[in-house]
Amino acid sequence: MRNLCVTFEDTSKRGGKIFAVKDVSFDVKEGEILSIAGESGSGKTTVARTIAALLPPTSGSVIFRGIDITKKKKKELRAYRREVQMIFQDPYESLNPRWDVSTTIGTHIRYLTKEKDKKAIQDRIDQLLNEVGLKPDLVRHRLPHQLSGGERQRVNIARALSSNPRMLLGDEPITMLDASQRLSILRLLMKLKRERNLTILLITHDLASAKVASDRTIIMYKGEIVESGPTDVVLQNPKHDYTRLILSSMPEMPA
Amino acid sequence: MSSSPSSSTPLLNISNLSVEYAFEGMTVKAVNNVSLTIPSQGYTLGVVGESGSGKTTLGMSIMRAIERPGRISSGKIEFQGRDVLRMSEGELKKYRWSDVSIVFQSAMNSLNPVKTVSSPIIEILRDHTKISRSEAKARAISLLQEMQVDPRRAKAYPHEFSGGMKQRVVIALALALSPKLLIADEPTSALDVVVQKQILKMLRNEVKERNLSLIFITHEIPLLVDLVDNIAVMKSGEVVEMGPLNKVLREPLHPYTQMLLGTLLSMKTPKESVFAPASEPVKSVTRAPNSCIYSDNCAYVFDRCREEDPVLKEIEPGRWVACHKHN
């Protein structure tokens, strides 16, 4: 079992300390889907960005396979970036509007793996597109605006998979998608977890996403972890008032 | 909707409305030949659609707030028998905010940052009625109270308020002149679930207390439960299904409505489900003109669907569908 330990504090300088994230510690088990759920301001995105090495913590460590990546310099993180990839909330923002799907994924492959052979790259692109549920012949030459939100997010996921990462961080990957596309993207992530033994950290504000997709769930509130455990346990037997409050506020369909 | 037994004028009647946008040499129909009626006070309708469905354009049209490059290309909008599309500037001024009001998702961000939260309410009251400044101030405070905003905060500035509080101010503003119809376009999308529930509950109360007619526009179907009595489902600028909410949810007739309900993500969604495969149909870049707007993805598609866009028909009293399968 390879565990990731995440411990940090974060402060903002404004005449006093404001903790975006305060004393957060948790492990991520290899091959699991872990949801970090909370409302805006809970600190969940800050946690994700720190793990993705996009943001240095004020204190604490992020230990990935025995190495504390917060103590590494940019150059030394290259290997880490191959192993840990991130998907962002806005599927459109992460795509160059002038690059077609092939170019988007191909460029990423070339950058991260130094692969040079054109045919090998093209085959790899097709393989990745198939894996994420897109038909290569139909989408290869499409530009982002010719794709739906769900399709764009699949392209982002395909791109992220191109370096065969061990872990995927999804920062609210379905929030900006139309309601009918959300479930199928979660199913895709679940499929990838099964087939690749991929570890997935899913940041979300929607507990229904956590319920459907994740093995374990962490609930954050105002920078701190208030509850964590196996998803079914946390959501069926919440111990913390805040968790109960969110659960009771969720809109429900009639029986 | 089926016409009421008495021949009273409907509160709002939209007939064959089309709204076009000129885009890089082409025209795109954001709303295509939509007809619907709000028959009376207290009638509540949820308009559901995904991005590009035309639901926001529909709401904006009712306020006559479509701006270039968009334009209302055909159809009629009648409010209590008055032709909205032919109103003069003066008539529009009386129509907007007094007859029909609108609240948007982003409305809370358009509050003037250098004015107190009660200012716009006071202004709108003074602008449209003949009350004195002190009366307007008092009314503004009581409106804020009605929206559960502490009157002591009437002199606060927007930046001092949370998102939920700002949205309450915006709703107070929309209801200040006691309109008969309120259009709410995704008013709670930017708010967290706890605040959202409070705001929707408040909205429900206002609808009851004021016998308000409501058009609630959203892409999240569960929000409509306990909020509206009727639902209209839109796709690609057209209404594909319409009827009483509980009937449509229990027995959706249009394949698109069935798909929306089948792919709904809620706490009740099982971990394994037959409706959500890991792949999905690719977005259609070109669809044959005059074909059904769902013909590219519909499981029941047959030849006629590709040649003729079905018209919204009342197949049983109060139940409308635009689908050849139901003809």
pLDDT > 70? residue B277: no
Mean pLDDT value of segment B284-297: 81
Domain ranges of chain A: 4-249
pLDDT > 70? residue B183: yes
The per-residue pLDDT for range B238-252, each reduced to its tens digit, is 999 999 999 999 999
What DSSP letter does each residue of A131-165 carry, written as one string? Answer: HTT--HHHHTT--GGGS-HHHHHHHHHHHHHTT--
CA dihedral B170, B36, B17, B27 (to 10 degrees): 80
Give the pLDDT confidence score for residue A4 in this predicted structure: 57
Closest of A236, A166, A250 to residue A204, by C-alpha? A250
Beta-bridge partner residues of A204:
A37
Give the pLDDT confidence score for residue A10 in this predicted structure: 56
Give the pLDDT confidence score for residue B258 in this predicted structure: 95
Which tokens hold the place of A72? 């590494």
Which chain B residue lies closest to A181 (C-alpha atoms)? Answer: B263
Q: Show contacts of B22-30: CB within 8 Å, 24+ apart.
A: B22/B69, B22/B70, B22/B71, B23/B69, B29/B73, B29/B237, B30/B54, B30/B57, B30/B70, B30/B237
Chain B residues close to A250, C-beta within 8 Å: 193, 266-267
What DSSP letter does each residue of B142-184 carry, written as one string? Answer: HHHHHTT--GGGTT--GGGS-HHHHHHHHHHHHHTT--SEEEE
**CA B276 to CA B256: how far, in whole Å?**
14
Sign of CA dihedral A96, A109, A159, A144: positive
Query: Does any CB of chain A come closer than 8 Å to the CB of residue B285?
Result: yes
pLDDT band at B280 (very low <50, low <70, confident <90, very high): low
Give the pLDDT confidence score for residue A5 in this predicted structure: 59
Query: Does any CB of chain A come closer than 8 Å to the CB of residue B3?
Result: no
pLDDT band at B139 (very low <50, low <70, confident <90, very high): very high
pLDDT > 50? residue B185: yes
pLDDT > 60? residue B7: no
Give the pLDDT confidence score for residue A111 in this predicted structure: 86
B154 in Cβ contact with B173 (< 8 Å): no
pLDDT > 70? residue B284: no
The enclosing H or E element of A97 equals none
Give the pLDDT confidence score for residue B285 in this predicted structure: 59
Question: Taking the mean position of all CA atoms in its chain, how far away is CA A193?
Answer: 12
Query: Does any CB of chain A come closer than 8 Å to the CB of residue B105?
Result: no
ipTM of the complex: 0.87
Distance from CA of B149 to the nearest CA of A (A): 20
The per-residue pLDDT for range A167-180, each reduced to its tens digit, is 999 999 999 998 88
Q: Phi, psi (5° rounding) for residue A134?
A: -110, 145
Question: Taking the mean position of all CA atoms in its chain, how far away is CA B232?
Answer: 10
Q: What is the pTM of this model?
A: 0.91
CATH 3.10.180.10 fits A4-249, yes or no: no
Q: Do A179 and B221 touch (CB under 8 A)?
A: yes
Q: Do B219 and A178 touch (CB under 8 A)?
A: yes
Amino acid making up residue B192: D
B198 burial (CB, 10 Å; 0-12 / 13-18 / 19+) is middle
Query: Does any CB of chain B come closer than 8 Å to the CB of residue A145?
Result: no
Give the pLDDT confidence score for residue B2 in this predicted structure: 47
In this prediction, the residues of chain A whose per-residue pLDDT falls under 70 are: 1-18
Lowest mean per-residue pLDDT among B57-66, B221-230, B266-275, B315-324 = B266-275
Beta-bridge partner residues of B38:
B12
